[in-house]
C-alpha cells in the first residue's frame, strides 16, 4: 500500500478536475487491506473508494476523508456455472476493459457489449453499468465487500445488491468498499443477440442476430468511438465522464408524444420506458460543441458534457443544472445526473 498526502484529485479523474485529497492510499495487494482499514480508522468518516475516476466530479475544495485508490488486479476461475459456464472471481481494481477482452478471448458471453467502458470492475455494480443491451445485473452473482458500519468483510449476493437502472445498494453511500466480484458467464462463440440499431448497422446484420464475440465487441467499440465515448488521451473531447445523465423514465403519454417527434424511446430491463438523454439535449437547442460555462461545453461528437482548460467542479455542476433546466423547460422531461460527487461539497 502506497500512501500520499495532498494529491490533486484532478490527477485521479478523467475530467481532470478537483482539489487536493488529504490522504490517498493506493492498494495493489489485497492482503494489505487490513493496513488500509487501520489507516482509515484514524481519519474522519468512512473512506472514499476510487477506481479510475471515470464517473466522478471531484470538488474544487478537495477531499478530507481518506481516498482509497483500488488498484488490485486479478481474475480466477471460481467454479462452474449453469449452462456449461464459468464463475469468474475478479479483483475490484481490475480494469473492466481487460476483463471484457478476456471473456471475449476465452469464448465466454455476457460482457461483450460492455467493451470500451472505462473504469474498474469494482465500480460496475455501483450504478449497474450497462450498454447496448447488456448490464452487470445480467452476470453478477455476488460480491465481497468491507462494511465500514459493521467493521467486517461481508458477502452480498446479486439480489441483495439491489441492482436497478444505473443504481444499486452502493450508490450514494460510503458504507461499503467492494473487494471482489464474481460473475457467471456462458461458454459460447457467439454474442448475445444484437439489440441496438447502431451496432446492428455497423455489423450489417438485422437486430436480434448473434455474431462472433470478437465481431460484436469490435462493432460496439467502433460505435462508441464515433460518439467520443472511448477515452483517448489525444482526443479534444477526452476530459469526459461519458454519459452525464441517465436516460429518463417517461410516462406512456410522454412516450407517445416523444416517439411522434422521432425520439428513441425504449423499454429497459427494469421494466421502465425511457428516452435518450442525448436526444433530449440536442432537441432542446444544444448543438454539438455548445459552450455552457467557463471551460465546460457540449462534446463535438455526442450530446454529453466535457471539460476544457479552465474548467472547475463548480462550473461543471452549473453546466449540469443549466442543461437540466433547459431540457425540462423545452420537453417537460426531467434529467437526472448519474455521476458521483466526490469530496468536500458544500451543497
Which amino acids are annotated catalytic?
166, 243, 338
User: How many CB atoms sit inside 10 A of residue 306's CB?
Assistant: 28
Q: How far apart are CA 189 and CA 329, in angstroms?
A: 48
Nearest to 109 by CA among 200, 189, 208, 207: 189
Q: What angle do CA 113, 114, 116 make, to 5 degrees?
A: 110
Q: In 10 A of CB 29, how many CB atoms? A: 11
Round to whole Å and give the CA distance between 21 and 50: 12
Q: Strand pairing partners for 67?
A: 24, 48
CB 278, CB 304: distance < 8 Å: yes
Backbone angles phi, psi at 151, to 5 degrees: 65, 40
> 2 pairs with which residues across the strands?
26
Q: Residue 308 is inside which H or E element, if any?
A: none
What one-character-per-residue DSSP string does 200-222 give?
HHHHT--TT---BHHHHHHHHHH
Residue 321: name the closest of 219, 244, 252, 216 by CA: 244
Do 19 and 59 contact (CB within 8 A), yes or no? yes
Residues in contact with 77: Cβ distance below 8 Å, sequence separation at least 6, in sequence order: 86, 87, 88, 89
Amino acid at each position: 500500500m502506497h500512501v500520499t498526502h495532498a494529491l490533486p484529485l484532478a490527477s485521479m479523474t478523467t475530467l481532470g478536475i478537483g482539489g487536493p485529497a488529504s490522504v490517498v492510499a493506493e492498494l495493489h495487494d489485497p492482503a494489505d487491506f487490513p493496513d488500509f482499514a487501520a489507516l482509515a480508522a484514524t481519519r474522519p468518516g468512512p473512506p472514499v473508494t476510487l477506481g479510475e475516476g471515470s464517473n466522478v466530479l471531484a470538488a474544487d475544495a478537495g477531499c478530507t476523508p481518506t481516498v482509497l485508490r483500488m488498484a488490485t488486479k486479478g481474475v480466477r476461475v471460481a467454479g462452474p456455472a449453469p449452462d456449461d459456464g464459468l464463475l469468474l472471481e475478479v479483483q475490484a481494481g481490475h480494469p473492466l476493459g481487460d476483463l471484457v477482452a478476456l471473456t471475449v478471448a476465452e469464448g465466454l458471453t455476457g460482457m461483450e457489449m460492455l467493451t470500451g467502458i472505462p473504469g474498474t470492475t469494482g465500480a460496475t455494480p455501483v450504478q449497474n453499468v450497462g450498454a447496448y443491451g447488456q448490464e452487470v445485473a445480467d452476470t453478477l452473482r455476488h460480491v465481497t465487500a468491507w462494511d465500514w458500519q459493521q467493521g467486517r468483510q461481508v458477502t452480498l449476493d446479486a439480489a441483495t445488491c439491489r441492482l436497478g437502472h444505473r443504481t444499486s445498494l452502493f450508490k450514494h453511500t460510503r458504507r461499503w468498499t467492494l473487494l471482489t466480484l464474481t460473475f457467471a458467464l456462458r461458454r459460447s462463440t457467439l454474442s448475445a443477440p444484437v439489440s441496438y440499431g447502431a451496432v446492428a448497422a455497423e455489423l450489417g446484420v438485422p437486430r436480434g442476430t448473434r455474431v462472433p464475440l470478437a465481431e460484436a465487441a469490435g462493432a460496439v467499440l467502433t460505435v462508441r468511438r464515433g460518439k467520443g465515448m472511448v477515452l483517448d488521451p489525444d482526443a479534444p473531447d477526452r476530459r469526459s465522464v461519458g454519459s452525464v445523465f441517465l436516460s429518463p423514465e417517461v410516462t406512456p403519454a410522454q412516450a407517445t408524444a416523444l416517439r411522434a417527434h422521432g425520439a428513441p424511446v425504449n423499454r429497459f430491463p427494469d421494466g421502465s420506458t425511457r428516452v435518450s438523454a442525448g436526444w433530449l439535449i440536442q432537441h432542446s437547442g444544444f448543438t454539438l460543441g455548445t459552450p455552457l460555462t467557463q471551460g465546460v461545453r457540449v462534446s463535438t461528437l455526442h450530446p454529453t458534457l466535457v471539460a476544457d482548460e479552465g474548467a472547475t467542479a463548480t462550473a461543471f455542476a452549473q453546466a449540469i443544472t443549466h442543461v437540466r433546466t433547459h431540457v425540462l423547460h423545452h420537453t417537460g422531461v426531467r434529467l437526472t445526473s448519474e455521476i458521483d460527487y466526490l469530496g468536500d461539497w458544500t451543497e
